[in-house]
Amino acid sequence: MRFLRLLSLPLAVFISALLFLALQKANVIDIIKDKAVADTAGVVKTEPDIEPQKPLPNPPAVIKAVYATSWSAASEKKLAYLISLIKKTELNAIVIDIKDYSGYVVYNTELELPKKYNAIEMRIPRLNALIKKLHDENIYVIARIAVFQDQRLPLARPELALMSSSTGEIWKDYKGLMWLDTASQAVWDYNIAIAREVLDRGVDEANFDYIRFASDGDLNDIKHPFWDEKKLKINVVRDFFKYLRDQLWDKTISADLFGLVTVNTDGLGIGQHLEYALPYFDFIAPMVYPSHYFKGFIGYEKPAEHPYEVVKYSLDRAVTRLTAYQNWQSEQGINRPLAKLRPWFQDFDLGADYDAAKVRAQIDAWDAAAAAHPELNGGWMLWNPSNIYTREALLSE
């Protein structure tokens, strides 16, 4: 395609990662602010948790969610705002960090390994009670788990981390963050245990993020303790996806993927391939943030200023590929359900001022892309690192 020749994919992914750095910095600041709010908002830290909960008996057919940090979920004031927003609009779900890029397990886990690895920061001291509070409002609860970007496990288990060939120390990306080897089954098992625990305690879905190889930093300096650097990255990541499904066969799980996976098939240099994820998840969540597309994408100098066109083009391609994959399965006599699409949308200012019109344009673009195949529409999710959302972009309940 013409626009793909404008920029090599590894460079496109690198630029996307650099753009996200600005968002990560904002996220760190907002996490600090949210922590201050949580510490003063009457969060009960010593009262025992209640019994484990059950998933919602009748979950929404189409999920419409907002993202919340663990600090926001622990803050009475912030949580009240989010619940009110959900109840008064078309929203019906919330995504909550239970293990973010910091690597901390943030709830009252009973697992031994996070304790052993000094990887617990008690931001949500009563997870079961939080789930009940949200379920009582008929809100679908999604637990987000960052997998291979982790700042705690590498300190406890450096043999699982990416290493620097030049220094012999743990490798870090340009943001100073550590990564775990994507091919390590020990890392897989560690994160699956966390997912299984929260799902058994009533969370409706586990959402896996950072399920890829590192994308920025001196990639040539990386030494992988488990990946032999011969097996294709897309096959390594596919093996992880299959293992996830095998271990969590009876649970609802979703995968966050780079937005460019909708239009490219080469793994983007990070091992993410749309078709390789489709058989193993209930939902695929491409992060089609217009600000993260490279200059010149489908002819636009500034893709962030054209949210409808960028999202529509990307999700049109995704729908086409998913239906083609379904047809191929049918021809092969394979009767296996495939994931629905549930993209992440941008509700933050990066590349352009994201007012209500721009936020809504992304939702409208997805509605248009999915119109001919409503069975593929798993909904959508909004991301804002400060967890303050554009109410005017949402339909009233």
Work out whether strand 344-346 and strand 379-383 pair parallel, antiparallel, or are unpaired. Answer: parallel
User: Which of 3.30.70.380, 3.20.20.80, 3.40.50.2300, 3.20.20.70 would CATH assign to domain 2-393?
Assistant: 3.20.20.80
Whether 42 shows a pLDDT value over 70: the answer reads: no
Looking up tokens 């695929």 gives: 284
Q: What is the reported pLDDT for 6? A: 37
Residues 203 and 55 sit within 8 Å (Cβ to Cβ)? yes
Per-position DSSP letters for 7-54, written without gaps between them? S-HHHHHHHHHHHHHHHHHHHHHHHHHHHHHHHHTT--SSSPP-----
For the chain, give the mean pLDDT.
91
pLDDT at 397: 80
Burial classification of residue 93, based on how many CB atoms lie within 10 Å of its CB (0-12 exposed, 13-18 middle, 19 or more buried)? buried
Q: What is the pLDDT of residues 158-197, one digit of tens each?
A: 999 999 999 999 999 999 999 999 999 999 999 999 999 9
pTM over 0.85? The answer is yes
319 pLDDT band (50/70/90 cuts)?
Answer: very high
Instruction: Encode pLDDT of 107-144 as tens digits.
Output: 999 999 999 999 999 999 999 999 999 999 999 999 99
Q: Please, are residues 346 and 291 in contact by the beta-carbon 8 Å criterion?
A: yes
- What are the structure tokens assigned to 149, written together? 């970007």
Q: Which of 2-11, 40-49, 133-142 has the highest mean pLDDT?
A: 133-142
Question: What per-residue confidence (pLDDT) applies to 335?
Answer: 86
Question: Which residue is listed with tokens 């969370």?
Answer: 203
- Considering all CA atoms of the chain, what is the largest pairwise distance in Å, rounded to the nearest integer? 60
Mean of the pLDDT values across residues 240-258?
Answer: 98
- For residue 28, pLDDT over 70 is answered with no
The first and second tokens of residue 87, run together, are 């109840």
pLDDT of residue 303: 97
Average pLDDT over residues 333-343: 92
Domain boundaries, the chain: 2-393
Instruction: Using a pLDDT cut of 70, give the percent of the chain over it.
Output: 88
Q: Name the band, by pLDDT with cuts 50, 70 and 90, for residue 36.
A: very low
Dihedral angle sign, alpha carbons of residues 133, 27, 282, 193: negative
Task: Note the pLDDT of residue 38.
Answer: 43
